[in-house]
Chain A
Amino acid sequence: MYSLNARLLISVSVLLLLFFGATIVVLDTAFRTAGEQAREDILDGHLMSLLAAAEVSDDGVLTLRRDLPEPRFSTLASGLYAAIRDDDNRVIYQSRSSLGMSIPEGTRGAPGREAFERLWLEDGTPLLSLTLAVQWEIAEGELRPFVFSVAENLDSFNAQIAGFRGQLFGWFAAVAAIMLVSISLLLRGLLRPLRQIETEIAEIEEGRRSSLSPELPNELAGVAGNLNLLIDSERARSERYRNTLGNLAHSLKTPLAAMRSLTNESGSQAETRLNEQIDRMDEIVRYQLRKPASSAAGNLLLAPVDLAAETGRLVDGLRKVYRDKAPGIEVSVDPGAAFRGDTGDFLEMAGNLLDNACKWCRGKVRLSVKPAGSGGMILSVADDGPGVLPEAREALLERGMRLDETTPGDGIGLAIVKDIAESYGGHLAIQESDLGGAQFTITVPPQRSKT
């Protein structure tokens, strides 16, 4: 099981992460490069001023004519350092700011070529250092090499970069969060019609609605329309199926009734034999054409049966039929019980059992409908009649399954009840009733859609 919502949010999050990640890397690199460039330019300026202040006497001794213009060279540990070395790497000059420190010697490149590099003080402080080797002409044709170097502490620069990064991450995280929230809100809105369909299908299953409402976006209207068509055609199909069977039964049984009416009960042997054949045909028609109206899968489209109302109608009807015997029929229908299916199937099961009970009872019948777990139905009908012997129970349920072995009028009703119960995934059981007679119990488990 997955949800479109979660899928979309995950994809969007991954995309945002990739996109923002790349942006952060690009921005960070650009900022750092620009910053370093600026630092190098400044350092280059310092090197130029160092060069300008340097003076070499004719005998090749280098001195600084004046103090360097940048006051940070004169402040101890200011972070900006300068040093001049001779050919043998001895330090000829070092700025006051670097007193007591050993400024690392940069790589000496070809004369006249500036070399930027990162170096570290002994205590690990990072430096950006610029080194320039110079051939100083003291006299005609006589050159003296010197190495000028300036270096700047990178701590502040690094702090600046870190600050920038912090801000960058902060802003992007905020933007990403806002985007995710607004996308999920948007999705909720966009997916509302889907959720509506889901709710409506649940309502159809619970029988509180007969079709999907037409107020849906264009993209979904087609799907909803087709679903409605499917529901209607399934309902029509099961209705048609029942009608066809009903009509077939009618058109077969009326001639049988006519044939029966033409024979005399106490007639000749031939008439008796004819009557037996009519009975057999009747049983076959009854059994074969009383197949359950719908399959369990189709039942999801059917509304739940109003158990209290239908039971009431049935009991009222049977009270009329058994007016002379007038059995006391005790009825209890638990409102938690549910039977989602064909009303006719329910009436067929309850009717057959209740009719049997009224027929066999001495005066008391009890019908109860209880829920089986959450939903579902346990229908039990008990009477105070002669009951069914334990060893005969199995046989009673099996009877009617094989018509050629059946005595007319026996057990067909029960076989039909059993068939219907089983088509709903339920079963029929016979027990002894506390009223003294038999108790028939149909258990139909709750039916759920697989959502």
Chain B
Amino acid sequence: MRMLIVEDDQTLRETLAKKLKAEGFAVEEAADGREGKYYALEYPIDLAIIDLGLPEVSGIEIIREARAAGKTFPILILTARDRWQDKVDGLSAGADDYVVKPFHFEEINARLSALVRRTGGWASSVLSAGPVTLDMSRQELKVNDEGVELTSFEYKIIEYLMVRAGDVISKTELTERLYDQDFERDSNVIEVFIGRLRKKLDPDNSLKPIETLRGRGYRFALERNQAA
């Protein structure tokens, strides 16, 4: 998932970015409001963390403009002014949740994964479709209650597909969302990983959890077990 962090404090931004990358996010960093607005409007962003007290363009304004431009990605606001007025302003402008500074990284992470699964319409952090269960908080995948060992990149792909179970996701989108900006895009890495995932999830080829739609992309095909 491609994540945007807009935060003017360098130390905070960089350590946050580092930790989020370790969690498997592709991260774009913006140090001020103008840059943040540019990323929010022009880049394929899945998730944004926006500080409200920014130089140049305020966080609220970025959120408002992104929403006005039809961007629906979830937004988590960071605020040091923990007045309810600021929180309410941010939430009414279109943010989805808030975290007050100083925060524990675990808190941010928990909020983010909640926001991610909400985009796919999941109400719980355990996504379950047919015999496949993905626990986002533990980053565990089970098929028929048996754990499946995944590399972090494999996990990222299956998470992305499962969160948006039922949607067709193009190869370009997967590449864009899962790699950092400077990654070489033309490789066949995605095909390779999808192939490996199929083997791990469905060794006897009976489930067919990941469908390939020629020329369009991939789709997690199993029926969701819980209501959205």
Contacts and interface: CB of A to CB of B under 8 A. Distances in A.
Given A313-B92, A316-B91, A324-B114, A253 B83 contact: no
A108 B147 CA distance: 152
B39 to A, nearest CB: 20
B185 interface: no
Interface in A251-289: 251-262, 265, 278, 282, 286
Interface in A25-82: none
Contact of B19 (A256, A261, A347, A348): A261
What size tier do the contact residues of chain A reach?
Answer: 35 or more
B118 interface: yes
Interface in B77-102: 78, 80-88, 91-92, 95-98, 101-102
Contacts of A318: 91
A254 B85 contact: no
B84 A351 contact: yes
A256 B85 CA distance: 22
B98 A321 contact: yes
Nearest to B10: A258
Contacts of B16: 261
B105 interface: yes
B70 to A, nearest CB: 18
Nearest to A252: B80
A265 B109 CA distance: 13
Contacts of B98: 321
B173 interface: no
A246 B81 contact: yes
Which of A259, A261, A314, A318 has its CB near the most chain B CB atoms (within 10 A)? A261
Nearest to B114: A324
B124 interface: yes
B151 interface: no
A320 B98 CA distance: 10
A256 B101 contact: yes
Where chain B touches its partner, the secondary structure class is: mixed
A253 B84 contact: no
- State the majority secondary structure of interface residues on A: helix
Interface residues of B, number: 35
B146 interface: no
Contact of B102 (A253, A314, A324, A351): A253
Interface in B112-162: 114, 118, 123-124
Nearest to A345: B85
Given A254-B12, A265-B105, A324-B123, A348 B91 contact: no
A350 B85 CA distance: 10
Interface of A: 246-247, 249-262, 265, 278, 282, 286, 290, 310, 313-314, 316-318, 320-321, 323-324, 343-344, 347-348, 350-352
16 contacts: A252-B80, A253-B82, A254-B9, A254-B101, A257-B80, A257-B102, A257-B103, A260-B104, A261-B105, A265-B105, A265-B106, A282-B102, A290-B82, A313-B91, A316-B92, A320-B91
Given A254-B51, A261-B15, A323-B118, 8 more contacts: A250-B80, A256-B101, A260-B104, A260-B105, A261-B19, A278-B102, A286-B82, A321-B96
Interface of B: 8-9, 11-12, 15-16, 19, 51, 53, 78, 80-88, 91-92, 95-98, 101-106, 114, 118, 123-124
